[in-house]
Amino acid sequence: SAMPGIVITTLERDGNRINLAGLRDPLAEDPEQILVEEGIPSNQITAHWSPYYSLDLPFIRQRATAMLNPPPTATLHFQEEHLAVTGTASHAWAIEAKKTARLIPGIQDYRDDDLRTVSIEQLIEQINLVSFLFDSGSSTLSEQAQGKLGPLRTLLEDLQILAQSSRQHIVVEAIGGADETGPETMNLLLATARAHTVIAALGGPSFGSHLTFTTGIETMSTVSRGRAQTPDKRKLLRRTSFFTSIKDKMPQVVPTP
């Protein structure tokens, strides 16, 4: 039967022995093992293989994926000898992928026009612009506020992937706030509850070890400024905002033999 990635140039029988020679793609199955599975004892097989790169599409796909090693947010698209990538990736990966794609056997054309490149700093900046407003006396997310969860999760997922690839530790602090309505102690509790509500709705712990979620509250000096403001401006204090920062570089885990 045909063996993908194998080109047999010599097949000879010498008594009970089989002499094989040909070309073998490094990704192809072991042809000698295939013959053993067909019932030919391994001690009756002599084989000599020279390496080559098969241009069969499955091998091109497998080789390109291994060589480019795209992040989970990027997708490779194959069409004959053409390769395109879409999705999101770091700027560093995009540059390296463009160089590496030229070296992949069977790929004649590489396009990344539809690849969006982002950096950790850009993602942090976007996350820190997000805030969730709450009704007076409430720590429940409104329907309008819930609509922000999906886009923010996407930013956090991208941030987790980039942090993991660069071995950086990111701290995402959800900062709860409250206006001056009600006792000060109650406002502090309400501000804390609002921060926890947003983290729980985002599924904070599910993002992996490279993102740490913490909570904080608006300083009293910030909250007290609301007393001199209009009701429309005071409602902006009833919020959860974010302060996201790079904590440190995580140690590289070296697998044990």
pLDDT in tens, 208-243: 889 999 999 986 555 455 455 677 777 889 999 999
Answer for the pair 123, 157: CB distance below 8 angstroms, yes or no. Answer: no
Size of the chain in residues: 257
DSSP 61-123: HHHHHHHH---TTEEEEEETTEEEEEEEEEHHHHHHHHHHHTTSTT--EEE-TTEEEE-HHHH
Can 57-118 and 121-249 be said to share one CATH topology?
A: no
Answer for the pair 9, 22: CB distance below 8 angstroms, yes or no. Answer: yes
pLDDT at 226: 47
pLDDT at 221: 54
Instruction: Specify the DSSP element, H or E, that contains 222.
Output: helix 220-224
Hey, how many other C-beta atoms are within 10 angstroms of the C-beta on 22? 17
With 90 as the cut, is the pLDDT of residue 105 above it? yes
CA 212 from centroid of its chain's CA atoms: 16
pLDDT in tens, 127-179: 999 999 999 999 999 999 999 999 999 999 989 988 888 889 999 999 999 98
Class level of CATH domain 57-118: alpha beta
Q: Cβ contacts of residue 106 below 8 Å, gap of 6+?
A: 53, 55, 59, 60, 63, 81
CATH of domain 121-249: 3.30.1330.60
Domain ranges of the chain: 6-51, 57-118, 121-249
- Crossing angle, helix 184-202 and helix 149-165, to 10 degrees? 70
Averaged pLDDT score across all residues of the chain: 87
Answer for the pair 44, 16: CB distance below 8 angstroms, yes or no. Answer: yes
Hey, how many other C-beta atoms are within 10 angstroms of the C-beta on 197? 20
Reported as a pLDDT band with limits 50, 70 and 90, residue 204 is: confident
Please, how many CA atoms are within 13 Å of residue 214, restricted to the half-sphere of its CB?
Answer: 11
pLDDT in tens, 20-74: 899 999 999 888 887 787 777 878 888 899 999 999 999 999 999 999 999 888 9
The more confident residue out of 63 and 255 is: 63
Please, how many CA atoms are within 13 Å of residue 198, restricted to the half-sphere of its CB?
Answer: 32
With 60 as the cut, is the pLDDT of residue 255 above it? no
pLDDT in tens, 85-100: 999 888 889 999 999 9
